[in-house]
Amino acid sequence: MTHSSQRRVVVTGIGAITPIGIGVDGLRTGLRAGRSAVTPITSFDASPFVTRIAAQVPDFDLSPYLEGKKLKRLDKFSQYAVACAKMALLDAHLDLDNTDRERVGVCLGTALGGVGFAEEQYPNFLAHGVRGVNPMLALSVFNGAGSCNVAIEVGATGPATANGDSCASSPIAIGRAVDLIRDGSADIMLAGGSEAPLSPLCFGAFAIIRAMSQRNDDPEHACRPFDNGRDGFVMAEGAAMLILEEYEMAKARGARIYGEILGHAITNDGFHMTQPRPDGKQAARCLTMALDRAGLNPEQIDYVNAHGSSTPLNDSTETSAIKQAFGAHAHTVPLSSTKSFHGHALGATGAWEAAISLLTLQDNWLPPTLNLTDPDPDCDLDYIPELEGREKKVNYVLSNSFGFGGINSCLIFGRV
C-alpha cells in the first residue's frame, strides 16, 4: 500500500510531564528558556554512586487527573501515563463520549515500567513480610500496567498494548498506533511513553556500568550532546502522550492539527547490548526506511531531532548514520539534541522528542543543543553547532531514537 492510498494519521493533542515543563505550553516555555533542568538528585540519597545528578520532574498537582483512591492506587509510572493521556485529550478538545470507544486504543512505551515501585516495596517486605507489601504491586510492575490504566481511565476499549524496547520504546509505540489506524483497527489512538526510574536500584544499575555523566559538580552542563567533553547520559523521569487521529475524522470535527505522521521504521544492530554498531549501518538503514515509507527524499527533511544522548559512542555513531542516509544533505540539515534540556527518561524520551518535533512544525522554531562548546571531531557534520534557537520554516522533521540492545527507531512528521 502506498502512502497516498493509506488512511492518514495526524496528531491533534499533546500531553507532557517533563523536567522543563508540564503540558504542551510548559514544554514550549521550557525550550524557549534555554536552560538545562539537570540538578543534584533530591528524591533519594545518591551519595553511594559515581553519578549523583538527574533531570527530575518538579512537584505538580496530579489531582485534576487522578483523585482519591485512584491516585493512591497507581504507582508513579502509571500516574504519569494517565495524567498525560488526559492532558492530551484536553489539548485535542476531544470528548470520547461522542466517539465509538471500541475504535479508541492505547500504545505505550517504557523501558522499566513499574520496577521503581517494586523497588520501594522490597524494604517493606524485608521488614514486615508480605503483609508490608502494597497489594497493588503485582498490578503495577508490568509494562502493560500503564497502557491498561490509561484505557481504564479514559474508557478506551480498542487495542491497548505496551512495549519495553529500551530507549526506542516510545517511537515504536507511536509507530504501532499509526499502523493500527492505517489498517482500520482504530480511529483514535493515545500513544507515547512513561518512565519513573529515579529510585536507588534502577538509577544505580546504570551508574554501575558508568553509562551516565559524572559531572556532579556542574549538573547544568552535564548533558553535552556531540561535545568533545561528553561523558554519559543524564537520567530523567516523566511522560508524554499524543492523540493520533485518522485525518478525515480530525478534519471533520475541526481539530487543530500539529502534524501528520508520515513514516516510521525499526531496525536492530544485532551487535551489542550497550554499544551501537560502530559502522552505523543499521541505524542508517532505519533512517532510509522511514524516509521511503514517508515518500520523502533526504533533502526534504528540514530538521532532525537527534537521539544525541551525550554518550561517547552513540553521538558519533548517530552522525555517521545520518551521513550515510542523507549524503550531502547531512552537512546542511539543521539538527539538535533536546536531551541537553530535559535529560534522558529512557523509554519516555522519544515521546518527548516526538512532541518537540511537532512543535517545530507548529511554531517554525528550532530548539538548540545546549552545552555544545567544543564539537567532537568524530561528530564531523557542519550543522552540529546549532547553538541557539531560531526561526525557520519547517515542513518535515525526522526524530531518531536509538536504545540499548541495538534497537533503532525513527519517526517522520510533516506539516498538513
The residues carrying an active-site annotation are 167, 307, 344
CB 386, CB 402: distance < 8 Å: no
Which grid cell sits at 211? 553509562
Nearest to 302 by CA among 390, 174, 414: 414
CB 162, CB 146: distance < 8 Å: yes
Close Cβ partners of 349 (under 8 Å, ≥ 6 residues apart): 167, 170, 193, 195, 236, 339, 342, 401
Q: How far from 129 is each of 15, 73, 125, 358, CA to CA, in Å?
A: 39, 20, 4, 48
The DSSP element (H or E) to which 10 belongs, if any, is strand 9-18
CB 223, CB 44: distance < 8 Å: no
The DSSP element (H or E) to which 120 belongs, if any, is helix 115-128
Nearest to 369 by CA among 391, 398, 390: 390
Instruction: State how far the Cα of 19 lies from the Cα of 22, in Å rounded to an integer.
Output: 8
Instruction: State how far the Cα of 346 lies from the Cα of 192, in Å rounded to an integer.
Output: 12
Beta strands in 72-122 (DSSP E): 104-109
